[in-house]
Structure 1
Amino acid sequence: MLDPQQKMIYLLRDALLQGGHLSREVYENELEDNIPRWHVGLQISGENFLFVVAERSEEIALVLLESQKRLYINEAAREKLAELWPGTYATQMEYLIPLMAEDLVEGALSVTGVQHVS
């Protein structure tokens, strides 16, 4: 039997790396109300984009916000994130998933801000 963190890693890998189901209901209940606050945070921090993962009842939701106030939800967010990290999406996710899992197991949202450096 998997411990809670290992189970969360499994759920995240399925949703973020293997094209698994992403929940609209989890987005609406856990993420949607925070969008305006996160947009303000992006403007203040100078980051290019921010993505947030939530989990409830073994269902995952993903939202990606760009600093220009564009919003991507679930599958569109996953696709956009892969587009922003061409060729390195899977590597980046493999690095981040254990960190995300730790946040989610503790009952928090996993919030990751990214600033592109040329």
Structure 2
Amino acid sequence: MLALVSAGVAVLGRILYIANMSDERTISKSTKSAVEKVLRDRLGQAGFSGADIRADRDSDGDPILLVDVNYAYSDKPISSKLTYGLSTEVRKALSALGETRFPHIRHHFDEQQKIAS
């Protein structure tokens, strides 16, 4: 049984759910900076050229962060291993800020870019 206690607060059985600021459609500058720092540190050698970060909802209606990562073209193949564990690292940085939205990361390469496995 779900009971709405007040705006942003609901009780499901004995579990209390409190909606916080991360449920909103806005993204703080500190959140964007934290995500961009992780991306720069991890993907800089692969030609990371920037990221578009925006608030959205997943197919279940839960709030998420869409992170579209852009890369500059490079003549040498980019190792796909650079992305292993990236979501976890971004989530840790977000958690340190109190951000609860899950980051959905999508990578956008030049059509001619070669990817090494």
- Fold shared per TM-score above 0.5: no
Which structure's residues are more often strand, by fraction? Answer: 2
Task: Specify the structure having the higher radius of gyration (Cα).
Answer: 2
RCO comparison, higher one (Cα < 8 Å, 6+):
1
More helix by share: 1
